[in-house]
Chain A
Amino acid sequence: MTEWLLDGLSWLPLAGGLLFFAAGSIGLLRFPDVYSRLHALTKADTLGFGLVAAGLACRAGSLWEVAQLLLIWLLVLASGATACQLLARQAREEEGDG
């Protein structure tokens, strides 16, 4: 019963995550400049990936797997933030040049 419930529940965050990914991708393609694109992209990364991870955690077989998913999410979060800063800084530098 709980399994069935968890399975059903997991669809909610999974769908939400995919939605964020889709929105992020559209933003990446359609937004005019680097900063707004980064804005769209990081939303997809953090929220979208976080929701997907949460959805998968509902379906995980053991607590160990949940912990792994959490660790992955944290790593992606930190590296995503750093990479976003890197890109934004580079964009600013180039603007400064031009």
Chain B
Amino acid sequence: MAEGLFDLVLAGLLLMLAGGALYGRSLYTSILLFVTFGLVLALVWARLGAVDLALAEAAIGAGLTGALLFAALARQGRAPEGEFDLACRRRGLAAAAVLLPVLWLMLSSLAPLAERDSPLPELALAALPHSGVEHPVTAVLLNYRAWDTLLELAVLLLALLGARQLGSGRLDTARPWPQLRAWNAHLAPLLVLVGGFLLWRGSSAPGGAFQAGALLAAGVVSLRLAHLLPPLRWSFWPLRLLVLLGLALFLAVAAAGAWLGQGWLSYPAGWAKPLILAIEVAATLSIAASLSLLVVGERREPAP
């Protein structure tokens, strides 16, 4: 009963925040509500027992996406939007009239799914002793479906390459005042510590490369915003190397496996744990570097 009530409150809050984020009065309000939405969603993941996701969502969804959204808002300025006039409202009602039957259709055909189950979890648990890690989610990410993870690192790289085409991403940040500097200077080492802990724990409990990388990136971003770090520039080659490190190592392991006869992305017996750990460390660094470059990366501006 109490659980059902909690679910109901959580879901109501989630949907209200989602609606507010879409149709908030000003863009600023919308973004604030969206960041709050991310935090509530992290709570939902925790409630549903997906702790890995709760960690990832809190760091990525609420933290970094929030920073990105506010950066976009700062670039855009608070120009009047001309949104939500009568025509817009009419369009919204029309779309809602179309989508409501779709919702009914979806719910009625999805209802039977809640009772079924899948053979995969059992297989995943049965194969766990041979996977080199103890946490099933990490085993799926870095062993059973490592190919997805490899390609996903490439997706992150491509986003970065795409963002690089767009000219300067420089943000004119205000001069940080003393307390911000002091707080960020204390926060950053703490984030590094927690990131390292999450990475290490990932092999046996919720956590892993993505959560750790996102936390590290959050640390880098906050340091940069407090002007405690020099500008991050793509033209600095060690930074590029850091971005590529995870993907390159992953690819090298895959190719070496194929070359030596183990098979594409197969780890030799006994080597699974060290290889996975090495890939995770490299991926964490790459993810942290890529995400921080995406948020606060700068291009060298031609001298005026």
Contact = CB atoms under 8 A, between A and B. Distances in A.
A85 interface: yes
A79 B183 contact: yes
A85 to B, nearest CB: 6
A72 B136 CA distance: 29
A78 interface: yes
Nearest to A86: B180
A81 B177 contact: no
Interface string A8-51: 00000000000000000000000000000000000000000000
A29 to B, nearest CB: 15
Contacts of B179: 81-82, 85
B177 A78 contact: no
B interface majority secondary structure: helix
Contacts of A81: 179, 183
Nearest to B190: A75
Contact of A89 (B177, B183, B187): B177
A22 B180 CA distance: 29
Nearest to A78: B183
- Looking at chain B, what size class is its interface with the partner chain? under 10
Contacts of B187: 78-79
Interface string B177-219: 1011001001100000000000000000000000000000000
B205 to A, nearest CB: 16
A78 B188 CA distance: 13
Contacts of A89: 177
Nearest to A93: B174
Nearest to A81: B179
B227 to A, nearest CB: 15
A86 B180 CA distance: 8
A17 to B, nearest CB: 18
A81 B187 CA distance: 13
Nearest to B183: A82
Nearest to B186: A78
Interface of A: 78-79, 81-82, 85-86, 89
Given A78-B183, A82-B180, A85-B180, 6 more contacts: A78-B187, A81-B179, A81-B183, A82-B179, A86-B180, A89-B177
Interface of B: 177, 179-180, 183, 186-187
The 10 closest A-B pairs by CB, nearest first: A82-B183, A78-B183, A85-B179, A82-B179, A82-B180, A89-B177, A85-B177, A81-B179, A79-B183, A86-B180
15 contacts: A78-B183, A78-B186, A78-B187, A79-B183, A79-B187, A81-B179, A81-B183, A82-B179, A82-B180, A82-B183, A85-B177, A85-B179, A85-B180, A86-B180, A89-B177
